[in-house]
Chain A
């Protein structure tokens, strides 16, 4: 047994008062969860603390909160872990999730944001016809593959801190896009191309994600929403050759080809290439100019904050020839494969899982 100090952000919409902080000291073993801490405070000190919860085992998806500023499930975070990340080294701070309006205390309005976005992606199977009399016969791996996205418990932790959503509240967002992969990756679905086109053409769709990794970090179930978004992009661009009006696909290709050519990003070349591909003429694509003008504020800001130096941006940043060769070898290996290899938790496991897996198990499994 140890004592832990919890600081909860309270808010009572009926009081007319602003949110406030309330501290509780709870006594629990260190490997008990933050949720158990909150429930102890609720049972012993103040029954009015509002928090959604049921399973206590990271499966019902009710208890998404921010702990010490990071989104996650309260039942899936140990008290000692939380103490570790406490900013002052002793107080575990629990707040409601972000990007969604607060209803009361730790309870947010998920309908207004999260579920609306889920509904945006036509979240049901559109059957491949004819529907067979028995089950659809599909590759074994395909079902294991979409189990990773099926494992999403709709907790909203990824939505809470999605950078793109903060900037663009209309962004479809990590959870909904992961849900969309659940259908795009499902061989029984008949509408893959339509789904992809829809999400590629939507300016708030798959190309609106800024690769910030926050959703991967936040997700308690290994859904890795960002990875699913990248898969949607690959399938959209490479398999269905969908070239969207927002230039998301071309932009992505420009990134890839720049790194292949220079080993590092070359910002000044990025936009022109996004529009003209690798051809020299394409750089004069009229919309490239328009985009450049519209990006000026962002570029200026970046310059001001010292993120980019003018010389650095205009010149290609080259890396030593030996290193560049290494980079290009990666390209050769990856592009030389007959099939695209996709990382999947359920199929390939995590590195740590695989570390000691003896090769012979393959056969017996």
Chain B
């Protein structure tokens, strides 16, 4: 049985950063990922990473923008930690080799991003996530003697010991089908978001909420689950993301009348207001008949106003995306976009060291976690920062913890249970529905009722559907009976995760009877600080029914104010 001080699940930015930090602190470390680390969805992050690195900037300004962006639901102590440590982290990345673009005097260049009061987004063209992820992986290769890598291993369960601590995981080697228990003094969940519960989404096929559901399963608390970010610029064609960097470089949003409609909604920040605001504005334009394109369901993003040379250098990837996936030359004509599911602000509730309350030895960092630095709405380029800061902090804290606790003795019960579960799925007869069908219905439902505008009736419908799909998933069948790369059976397990996560999202959205950040309730259109400036916490009470409780928002220096851009 492989045993490590610190075991990390997920090898995106959060996981790799945690692994490097824990190894540096002297712990024995392993990192497990269901795909090769560089395939992790962090690779898709385009626009950049925020940090008050400029001598003219101040982390407090970054923190204030983040608090305001969160619609006063973010925990200000956590936001202070993230923003004050950001410059050091970005410089660290620079030192280990990230090829951040420079200004003419050779220092870090910064670009404008939504919801930010100054330019503070460091970037590598529009492949920032890829550049950082690949450089971290370079470091993992460098430190191969101190970090064991389990690439293409799928974690099926977390293990909780008799004393209630998290003691390890069960995982399956995708290549051989072999199941194994991994013991660890601490487990850091860094398994990313759950975008695949929506269709369309900007998230990759691997973003299926595994970690959120696995933590929920063993009793961890989920927080802010109702807060789902719709990104303002995703391709109407197929849901692909056009980075906010495009608007940061100066691109305009236009309606059918050729009007820069953001004037009406955010006269100061215009296209660079925070994402919930821009997405709602677009949806309003579309709903009121001023959309463009086939069935008027889109908005024009006009990048032709950005100088061509700059576009080719700094937005090269979306030039390609436009050409390859929408048949549009963005340097010559506007491109059709609309709001699309992008990010999940909620996740496994943690403190600023990544610890999940109530389950010693369990940590979470990155999109799977909710610290909560994003509150009701995440600012662009704050997520990469979140993954790195809290990934590092979790890694360091878990390494420290390892010095004081014993290596747990882990039984094989969970292993047998999971082996049994997989056998059962493979053995199902073909009387039920296909996994892919259920997944499709789930995604479409979530995108219809749990999107930019929400209301009671739709949310209830969504809940009913999710409950029904959960039942149907129990008999959903797969074709692949093999052990080598049986992606089919893993798909069935992932479907279960997505259904759990979706239920938590819907239940929280029904509960929050106000409009704040990404949650806009048509039936409760105002923010109601008195009753609702609090987090919704969700736990599972034995019987597979989500249970709701509340926790206060931590406020340090910034009092509520009306949110205007």
Residues of A within 8 A of B (CB): 12-14, 31, 42-44, 46-48, 50, 52-62, 76, 78, 103-105, 107, 110-111, 118-119, 123-125, 127, 131, 134-140, 142-144, 146-147, 150-151, 153-154, 182, 186, 188, 345-347, 349, 353, 357-358, 361-362, 364-365
Contact = CB atoms under 8 A, between A and B. Distances in A.
B482 A144 contact: no
Interface stretch (B59-67, B96-104, B514-522, B548-556): B96-104
Nearest to A109: B175
B309 A124 contact: no
Interface of B: 35-36, 38-41, 43-44, 53, 91, 94-97, 99-109, 124-125, 127, 130-131, 134-135, 138-139, 141-142, 151, 175, 204-206, 238, 240, 307-310, 312-313, 316-317, 319-321, 324-325, 327, 331, 434-437, 478-488, 491
B41 A125 contact: no
A54 B485 contact: no
Shortest Cβ-Cβ A-B pairs, 7 listed: A125-B97, A48-B480, A43-B436, A47-B479, A54-B204, A47-B488, A137-B106
Nearest to A110: B36
A186 B39 contact: no
A60 B44 contact: yes
Given A55-B204, A123-B138, A147-B124, A346 B43 contact: no
Contacts of B307: 361, 364-365
Contact of A54 (B35, B141, B481): B35
Contact of A135 (B44, B94, B478, B491): B94
A151 B102 contact: no
Given A47-B436, A47-B487, A154-B38, 20 more contacts: A12-B484, A55-B204, A56-B240, A59-B44, A59-B127, A60-B35, A60-B41, A104-B482, A104-B485, A124-B142, A125-B97, A134-B91, A135-B107, A138-B102, A140-B101, A143-B102, A150-B130, A151-B125, A188-B97, A361-B310
Contacts of A42: 436
B96 A353 contact: no
B14 to A, nearest CB: 17
A13 B206 CA distance: 24
Contact of B478 (A44, A47, A59, A345): A47
Given A55-B43, A151-B127, A365 B309 contact: yes
A143 B101 contact: yes
Contacts of B308: 353, 357-358, 361
A43 B95 contact: no
Contacts of A147: 99, 101, 124-125, 127, 131
Contacts of B479: 46-48
A67 B113 CA distance: 39
A140 B102 contact: yes
A61 B39 contact: yes
A179 B97 CA distance: 13
Contacts of B35: 52, 54, 60, 62
B142 to A, nearest CB: 4
A103 B134 contact: no
A131 B101 CA distance: 18
B105 A137 contact: yes
Give the interface SS of chain A, mostly helix, strand, loop or mixed.
Answer: loop
A225 B464 CA distance: 53
B139 A124 contact: yes
Contacts of A118: 141
B99 A143 contact: yes
A111 B153 CA distance: 14
A55 B106 contact: no
Contacts of A127: 95
Contacts of A57: 44, 240, 321, 325
Contacts of B324: 58, 76, 78
A42 B53 CA distance: 48
Contacts of B481: 48
Contacts of A110: 36
A43 B433 CA distance: 11
A124 B127 contact: no
A186 B97 contact: yes
A353 B204 contact: no
Contacts of B205: 53-56
B127 A13 contact: no
Given A48-B480, A59-B44, A119-B141, A346 B106 contact: no
A146 B97 CA distance: 11
Nearest to A76: B324
A46 B317 CA distance: 34
Nearest to A187: B106
Contacts of A56: 204-205, 238, 240
Contacts of B94: 135-136
Contacts of A124: 96-97, 138-139, 141-142
A43 to B, nearest CB: 4
Contact of A14 (B41, B100, B437, B484): B484
11 contacts: A12-B482, A12-B484, A54-B39, A54-B205, A56-B204, A59-B43, A104-B482, A118-B141, A124-B138, A140-B101, A150-B124
Nearest to A62: B39
A103 B139 CA distance: 28
A34 to B, nearest CB: 13
Contacts of B484: 12-14, 103-104
A150 B134 contact: yes
Nearest to B151: A111
Contacts of B320: 58
A65 to B, nearest CB: 15
A150 B327 contact: no
Residue among B99, B138, B437, B480 having the largest count of chain A Cβ atoms under 10 Å:
B99
Nearest to B103: A140
A362 B482 contact: no
A355 B205 CA distance: 38
Residue among A123, A131, A347, A364 having the largest count of chain B Cβ atoms under 10 Å:
A123
Given A138-B106, A361-B307, A365-B307, A107 B99 contact: no
Contact of B435 (A13, A47, A358): A47
A35 to B, nearest CB: 10
B125 A346 contact: yes
Contacts of B95: 127, 131, 135-136
B204 A60 contact: yes
A332 to B, nearest CB: 30
Residue among A42, A57, A150, A349 having the largest count of chain B Cβ atoms under 10 Å:
A57
B482 A48 contact: yes
Contacts of A346: 125, 312-313, 316
A41 B43 CA distance: 27
Contacts of A142: 102
Contact of A186 (B99, B238, B331): B99
A61 B204 CA distance: 12
Contacts of A364: 307
A319 B103 CA distance: 49
A153 B129 CA distance: 12
Contact of A347 (B99, B103, B104, B313): B313
Nearest to A13: B484
Given A46-B479, A47-B479, A47-B480, A140 B127 contact: no
A146 B99 contact: yes
A12 B485 CA distance: 10
B24 to A, nearest CB: 15
Contacts of A140: 101-104, 106, 109
Contacts of B310: 361, 365
Contacts of B480: 47-48
Contacts of B135: 125
Contacts of B100: 135, 143
A50 B97 contact: no
Contacts of A125: 96-97, 135, 138
B107 A14 contact: no
